[in-house]
Amino acid sequence: MMHQFKSSGLKLGIIAGGQLCKMLIQEASKWDIITYVLDPEDNCAAGNIASKCFKGHYQDFDAVYSFGKKVDLLTFELENINIDALKKLQSEGLKIIPDPLILELIQDKGLQKEFYVKHEIPTSPYVFYSNKDEILTAIIDKKLKFPFVQKLRKGGYDGRGVSLIKTEKDLDLLMEGETMVEDLVEIEKEIAVIVARNENGETRTYPPVEMVFDSKANLVDLLICPSAISEEQSKKALEYAIKLIAALDMKGILAVEFFINKKGEILVNESAPRTHNSGHHTIESVITSQFEQHIRAVLNLPLGSTQLKMPAVMINLLGEEGYFGPVYYEGIEECMAIEGVNIHLYGKKITRHFRKMGHVTVVSDTLVEAIKKAAIVRKTLKVISWDKL
């Protein structure tokens, strides 16, 4: 494989062709790497820059298996993949990075939690329930007290599959199925740390970023780097991220999300064994972007510097409310005229409310200046459509 990297013709397979895959390919194309993508949609974000696109669903055994047979090395941009197909490919000699076993563990928020506890990485206390009735019974029996957070063990995404139950009034939000109930953390801040590791065990961490959430959409509204946390908190977060990736014996990029509670304690929330929304700013603000780093890690190449070049603020470009149809980016030219504003459009043809259509990273000499400019972009750049709902 290394031989192929130094020469020509290495076929890197990427499962799912969304924006993370697109940005991965943009980095892979700096080198002589052929990229094959598997995605269920005709017009996926990575579609027009992948060397080759194959239509098929990532949860479908046959689609994943036959795709894997076409490539020299396999990685992915999302967690929700058919594990049996990956395991079969691996047993037949295909290198899959990160390892399918890690994916299997992370697909289940319950197993993730158990792993944190086993490896003494602080996290909020939790209990598993097999259905909604069990939760209601636990409340009646006074074994479970308000407030709490219920999470689907599997299949949740971008806040879907998470219910915040603060009082009895919220009980109609309870979800059916296998869930995990955890103590509600009084969140002071949410931060994320990206860590990379290769087969040689070389490990690099990125500076912690602070995520500011839009409470309505439950999506990241603003992401700030460097984050305004104490030196000690930063040290701890990096330490936990390194401990976790080593305990998993993982290769590739791991994104670890943490809560900082009102007491200033750091608790791990969840992790993703892939490139992450909280690392988009690294394209412009860090010497080696998370996407290049992932390729380096996957190919067991030396990892690159994770030094921050400039303070950065990242905002997601979400489809505006009330629009559904062919996309139109209102105000894009005004924003481009602002120094330090870097616009990324994912190339999704159809916008709908809250759909992630792109992102903007603002870099500046000072964080204050970057935040100001990001606020202007937020007000000016709107993802809409001529076809109103």
Q: Which residues bind ligand ADP (CB under 6 A)?
A: 124, 149, 151, 156-159, 161-162, 182, 184-185, 187, 190, 213, 218, 257, 269-270
DSSP type of residue 198: -
Q: How far is the CB of 264 from ligand ADP (least distance, A)?
A: 16
Taking the least distance from each CB to ligand ADP, the nearer of 182 and 284 is 182
Taking the least distance from each CB to ligand ADP, the nearer of 125 and 201 is 125
Taking the least distance from each CB to ligand ADP, the nearer of 8 and 215 is 215
Q: How far is the CB of 269 from ligand ADP (least distance, A)?
A: 5
Taking the least distance from each CB to ligand ADP, the nearer of 101 and 219 is 219
Taking the least distance from each CB to ligand ADP, the nearer of 56 and 159 is 159
Taking the least distance from each CB to ligand ADP, the nearer of 239 and 270 is 270
Q: Could you tell me whether strands 126-129 and 325-330 are parallel, antiparallel, or unpaired per DSSP bridges?
A: unpaired
Contact 13, 3 (CB under 8 A): no
Contact 204, 306 (CB under 8 A): yes
User: Cβ contacts of residue 323 below 8 Å, gap of 6+?
Assistant: 351, 352, 353, 383, 384, 385, 387, 388, 389
DSSP type of residue 388: B
Q: How far is the CB of 148 from ligand ADP (least distance, A)?
A: 8
Q: How far is the CB of 251 from ligand ADP (least distance, A)?
A: 23
DSSP, collapsed to helix, strand or coil, labels residue 83 as: helix
Shortest Cβ contact with ligand ADP: which residue?
185
Q: How far is the CB of 259 from ligand ADP (least distance, A)?
A: 7
Measure the CA–CA gap between 13 and 80, rounded to whole angstroms: 16
Taking the least distance from each CB to ligand ADP, the nearer of 187 and 336 is 187
Q: How far is the CB of 339 from ligand ADP (least distance, A)?
A: 32
What is the DSSP annotation of 129-178?
Answer: ESSHHHHHHHHHTTSS-SSEEEEESSS-BTTBTEEEE-SGGGGGGPPPSS
**Greatest CA separation found in the chain?**
66
DSSP type of residue 356: E
Q: How far is the CB of 70 from ligand ADP (least distance, A)?
A: 31
